[in-house]
Amino acid sequence: MRGGTYASVVSPDASRATPQQAVPFTPLGHRQILVILGGLMMGMFLAALDQTIVATAIRTIGDDLNGLSLQAWVTTAYLITSTIATPLYGKLSDIYGRKPLYLVAIAIFLVGSLLCGTATSMYQLAAYRAVQGLGGGGLMSLAITILGDLLSPRERAKYQAYFLAVFGTSSVLGPIIGGFFAGADDVLGITGWRWIFLVNVPFGILGMVVITRVLHLPPLAKVFHRIDWPGGLALAGGLVPLLLVAEQGREWGWGSPVALTCYALGVVGIAAFLLAERRAGDDALLPLHLFRNRTFGVSALINLVIGMGMFGGLATLPLYLQIAKGMTPTAAGLALLPLTLGIMTTSVVAGQTVARTGRYRIFPILGTICLTAGALLMSRLVPDSSMVEVAWRSAIFGFGLGFCFQPLVLAVQNAVPPKDMGVATSSSLFFRQMGGTLGTAVFLSILFSTVGGNIRDAFAEASRTTAFRAALADPAVLEDPANAPVVGVVQGTGALPSLDDSSFISAMDPRLAAPFLDGFARSTSLVLLIAAAVIAVSVVLAFLLPEIPLRQVSGIQSRLDAADATAPDAAGTTAAAVAGAEQGVGADAVRADAVDGAHGPESQVPRNPALLRDPSGPTIG
């Protein structure tokens, strides 16, 4: 149906219903696509800007709320809810449409942003960030899914530069805006850092207006699904306890009764989730049949591993720059620009190459190798490392991310049947975010559980140096209240100060502050070294990723062709469509299920020659 019509909406009594008027289909032109992309990028800009702003200012926020060591709660809370919400958005958008869910995601994100601006403690901020994450989980996944609906996989690669412009702009503006607000005591009578969240409001309102006006997706054939609430609740029940013990295990004790209870609840929750998904079948939040597709299964594992290493590294690098290097939030954010440029450079290279050749497998292989090498190189950074060293090492890490991001999503969208476009895309991103959630919690836990010991070791080594002894012999240094914490430790009259507020480090004599900087750098190096070991697993997985020729039609056109293949012909209605209508299943579902067989064993390949010629499915034979 190249000139096509949209399949009519099918009711449970479709076999006796009068067919609705079909809607003409006209392929979108370049200008129309750019207008829609503009609307999508407004929503993505919110999520991308929020990440860079918060990462830049988290030290200031933690110091002001007296809980820097609790920053993992703030980061993890957002990741938990956004991770759980991501596949739910994908499934709901397959049922109710992309646009309404996208607007709901932005609205929830804005409510969470307003709440974050009123937080009075790190725990309260973490709770509000959880609300924000419920919206953030849909901003990225739905934008990518809508793009998959509008463009074929090969065409999509041409337009990814526009999405990269969003990340590039947010990477530049985020540190500047975040640093400005974090460094201001108050703006318009409100504490400066609170504007980091409040600034989302005007952007979000503008985004909702633009999306409402320009994003007009055509209605597709509707099928009736149950919403997998049991699966969603079980997933939350399994992930939350495991993430809590990952975050708090160093304080509770990894073998404490509380930790053991969390382990047990996590295992039970995940088991209940798998049972719920098996029972739900095609209505599942994360359909288990997708894992029979090798491309989806391998990509999910790669995204999980990459997410762990990526978020673990990105969560600790800003702390290294601000604490070990003594940089301001703004300067630390701008220092990460080489990493961003690395992402953009290799993403453009990968996108243009995929658009020309239709081949993508080489890029995840190159990307995982670069990620591993970049993490290893960054683990060698010390307080005295020059900014040139920081720049080129982080750029290599960025090269790896740019090679992996888009090709992995393209591979998944290309490999699954059109009816699963939304849930497959969101599920792919779900595994990346789940890995990021685990990685952030675990790696920040490692960082703060080891930094105290590393600082003590650094003090023991520094006490034997001439510079440190000279500082302690200087009356001006001893009389300065800012140096009292270290003087007390050296004289045996005090303990190491709490790292919940690290601002005291910058006020100290540089000679006495050096052990603190060295201790943080050592812990950061350990985290990055472990991250490199984790990411190395993804190199092996990348070689297992299949290469399926990219489809030449968009997700919408594929679904229209699938519906048309089983639509009533001049002689009447096909038996498959009648049977599907009697069971409350639309022609789209009947056709898509037939196409889905091409992804299973050879015995499941449909025998209808028309199905074998359908370009919406993968190459058969």
Amino acid at 587: A
Say if residues 151 and 27 touch (Cβ distance below 8 Å).
no
Q: Integer distance in angstroms from the first to the last C-alpha of the chain?
A: 24
Q: Which residue has the tokens 């990411």?
A: 535
Residue 369 pLDDT greater than 60, yes or no: yes
User: For residue 547, what are its two tokens?
Assistant: 């290469």
pLDDT at 38 over 50: yes
Ordered alpha helix ranges (H), 253-323: 257-280, 294-319
pLDDT exceeds cutoff 70 at 596: no
Mean pLDDT (the chain) is 74
What is the mean predicted confidence (pLDDT) over 23-33?
62
Task: Decide if 560 contacts 614 (C-beta within 8 A).
Answer: no
DSSP H/E element including 451: helix 421-462
Backbone angles phi, psi at 23, to 5 degrees: -105, 125
- What is the per-residue pLDDT across 65-92, written as a single tens digit (0 to 9) for each? 776 666 667 877 887 788 778 888 877 8
Considering only CA atoms, give the Rg of the chain. 26
Q: Residues 209-222, buried b or exposed e (16+ Cβ, 10 A)?
A: ebbeebbeeeebbb
Give the number of C-alpha atoms closer than 13 A to the C-alpha of residue 284, restricted to the C-beta side: 21
Convert the pLDDT of each residue in 508-539 to its tens digit.
888 888 888 888 889 888 999 999 999 999 99
| Percent of the chain residues past pLDDT 90, beyond the cut | 10
pLDDT of residue 20: 40
Residue range 278-336, pLDDT digits in tens: 888 777 777 888 888 899 999 999 999 988 887 767 777 877 887 888 787 667 777 87
List Cβ neighbours of 619 (8 Å cut-off, separation of 6 or more). Answer: 548, 549
Looking at the predicted structure, is the pLDDT value of residue 53 above 90? no
pLDDT digits (tens, 9 = 90+) for 184-226: 777 787 777 888 888 888 878 887 887 888 777 666 555 556 7
Tokens coding 7: 């399949």
pLDDT of residue 302: 93
Residue 569 DSSP symbol: B
Return the number of other C-beta atoms located less than 10 Å from residue 271's C-beta: 12
pLDDT at residue number 593: 41
| Ramachandran quadrant class, 152 (left: phi over 0; alpha: psi -120 to 50; beta: rest) | beta
Fold of 27-228+285-451+524-543: Growth Hormone; Chain: A; (1.20.1250)
Higher pLDDT, 615 or 324: 324
**What is the band of 44 on the pLDDT scale with cuts at 50, 70, 90?**
confident
Question: In whole angstroms, what is the distance from residue 223 CA to residue 590 CA?
Answer: 10
Dihedral sign of CA atoms 288, 289, 291, 292 in order: positive
What's the 3-state SS for 108-138?
HHHHHHHHHCCCCCHHHHHHHHHHHHHHHHH
Cβ neighbour number for residue 19 with a 10 Å cutoff: 13
Region of residue 574 (left: phi > 0; alpha: psi -120 to 50; beta: else):
beta
Residue 35: what pLDDT?
A: 75
pLDDT band at 599 (very low <50, low <70, confident <90, very high): very low
Ranking 74-88, 385-399, 481-495, 574-588 by mean pLDDT, the lowest is 574-588
Highest mean pLDDT among 100-109, 144-153, 439-448: 100-109
Instruction: State CA 266 to chain mean position distance.
Output: 22
CA pair distance 139, 113, nearest whole angstrom: 14
User: pLDDT grade, residue 605 (50/70/90)?
Assistant: very low
Average pLDDT over residues 543-553: 79
Closest CA to 436 of 247, 303, 342, 244: 303
Q: Quick one: pLDDT at residue 371?
A: 93
Give residue limits of the domains in the chain: 27-228+285-451+524-543, 229-284, 452-523, 555-612
Cα(600)–Cα(604) distance, integer angstroms = 6
Closest CA to 560 of 221, 125, 314, 228: 221
**Res 586: pLDDT:** 38
The pLDDT of residue 362: 92
At 393, list the tokens: 């090492």
Give residue-wise pLDDT tens across range 97-129.
Answer: 788 888 999 999 999 999 988 888 888 888 899
CA atoms in the 13 A half-sphere facing the CB of 24? 3
Most confident of 342-351, 375-384, 592-601: 375-384
Q: How far is CA 69 from CA 74, 249, 451, in A?
A: 10, 13, 11
Please choose, from the candidates 472, 466, 503, 469, the residue with its C-alpha nearest in 3D space to the C-alpha of residue 487. 472
Rounded to whole angstroms, the maximal C-alpha distance in the chain is: 102
Examine the pLDDT at 600 and tell me if it is beyond 60: no
Helix, strand and coil content of the chain, in percent to the nearest 5, comes to: 75, 0, 20
Q: What's residue 247's pLDDT?
A: 65
H-only helix segments in 492-612: 503-507, 510-543, 555-565, 575-582, 587-596, 609-612
pLDDT, residue 370, reads 94
Contact call for residues 105 and 135 (beta carbons, < 8 A): yes
- The 10 Å Cβ neighbour count of residue 264 is 11
The vertex-564 CA angle with 561 and 570, nearest 5°, equals 150
